[in-house]
Amino acid sequence: MDTYDRLSFLDSSFLALESPTAHMHVAGVALYEGGTLRSDDGGIDIDRIRTFIGSRLHYVPRYRQRLAWIPIEKNPIWVDDQHFNLDYHVRHIALPKPGTETQLKELFGQILGSQLDRSKPLWQMWIVEGCEKDCFGLIFKIHHCMLDGVSGVDLMGVLLSLTPTTEIEPSPPFEPRPVPTGAQLIADETIRRIARAASAAISVPKMIEHGRTLVADFGTRASAVAYSLASGWLSAASRTPINEPLGPNRRFDWLTLPLDDFKQIKNALGGTVNDAVLAVAAGAVRRYLIEDRAFDVTGVKFRAMVPVSVRPKDRRGTLGNHVAMWLLELPIDVRDPVERFELIRQHTEKLKETNQALGAATIVRLSSGAPMTLLQQAARLATGIRPFNMTITNVPGPQFPMYLLDSRLIVQYPAVPLWAGHNLGIALFSYDGEIAWGFHADWDAIPDLDMFADAIRRSETELLAAAGTT
């Protein structure tokens, strides 16, 4: 029986990209109604929440695994944590009175600014009581090597349900598999390579049989790779005031807007909801740079990295990353909001037509198998070039209420990691008719993060009016 799992190349890359200032964890802060989780003294029943989370972990074994490393080649693997302690991972904290949104944002920013301990499973949660409006908060932080946004949404089904309940199902006891020794790992990896070579030799007749298919697929992938590389991955984007050296400390702000607003925009102008999201973001970046930073945006090549899911349907609900990256130039030097939208719509359409998600995914596949040291060197080179200015990720969520036991999820604000040279990132999560925007920023570089959140609101209002929907 296997006692460990290898990380994929893409999952390993998020370990290689991490530095003392660039923290590669995804995170979020959610607000819940109290329900029966509110105890008689007005607090939150943390023991019951821990018991419930513990009862669901057998559905997601990765949450009880830690990193280990294969000797010599230093490739990372997952092994069961022999000393797993749920109390370490699910923590309890309270805001001082009056428990405002500002205080919760500050707490989340502090949590975002510290890295996860690589000697333990790479996730943590904080149950936050003392929030205003008779609700409680749940802050979570998970290393990007464990999941992407789509798998994270699928895993909501593990903790959340469609109907309120007070029942906690029994779960099997956790029996960790033994951690292999260094000698065992070297022997296993040697056997794996021999088996892979033998399998390749055996499959030669099958490869010949399907030769035409392989050639056609190769041509498609080669074309997609060429388009992907030509989109800007090998050149630097323009430098702006939000692309200064990255510090270790973080700020967070949020905004909630009606999903129907973005549907109205795309219905009026064509394209997709995501096109409307990107157009609003482009308008906000333009407004923020001009009005708050006195920065001339004329001729600026401002690129956004937009993650796109390439997760096969049969892999939904599994951990690990199945995501490719689009590079998209946001026309922030264009004054007219409808023209900005149309340029973005045309660009995303071209990205789809040229299959650039496939191209980016193919580049990752071709790179798989590279030693960890080479991967780390490539990561340093990529961050030195800085081919994009900002990450914008939009994750669709359920459009109906979800419950943690009998506590209804009110809203969930996501946070995307900040790469080296990026002081601001945008993550969105749509849920129950609303889009929750999360703004993750460098503490020193973006002291006026609330002004950027306001620029998003004003940009959406502007685009709605220009589209003739108001």
> How much is the average pLDDT of 54-70?
93
For the cut 50, the answer to whether the pLDDT of residue 334 exceeds it is yes
| Cβ neighbours, 10 Å, residue 271 | 20
For the cut 90, the answer to whether the pLDDT of residue 320 exceeds it is no
pLDDT of residue 343: 97
> How much is the average pLDDT of 11-27?
92
In terms of Cβ atoms closer than 10 Å to its own Cβ (0-12, 13-18, 19+), residue 265 is: buried
Q: Name the residue with higher pLDDT: 341 or 222.
A: 341
H or E segment and range at residue 156: helix 156-159
List, edge to edge, every strand of the sheet that includes 25-33: 90-94, 123-131, 135-143, 25-33, 407-415, 403-404
Lowest mean pLDDT segment, chosen from 61-70, 369-378, 446-455: 369-378
pLDDT of residue 139: 96
Q: Where are the alpha helices (DSSP H) in 256-397?
A: 259-269, 273-287, 337-353, 356-367, 372-385
For the cut 80, the answer to whether the pLDDT of residue 74 exceeds it is yes
For the cut 60, the answer to whether the pLDDT of residue 148 exceeds it is no
Q: If you average pLDDT over every residue of the chain, what do you get?
A: 85
pLDDT of residue 419: 92
CB 358 within 8 A of CB 324: yes
- Residue 263, token pair as written in the block: 């549907």
> How much is the average pLDDT of 312-318?
48
H or E segment and range at residue 396: strand 390-396
User: Which pLDDT band, with edges at 50, 70 and 90, does 381 fall under?
Assistant: low
For residues 301 and 330, give the distance between their C-alpha atoms in angstroms, rounded to a whole number: 8
pLDDT of residue 361: 45
User: Which pLDDT band, with edges at 50, 70 and 90, does 42 fall under?
Assistant: confident
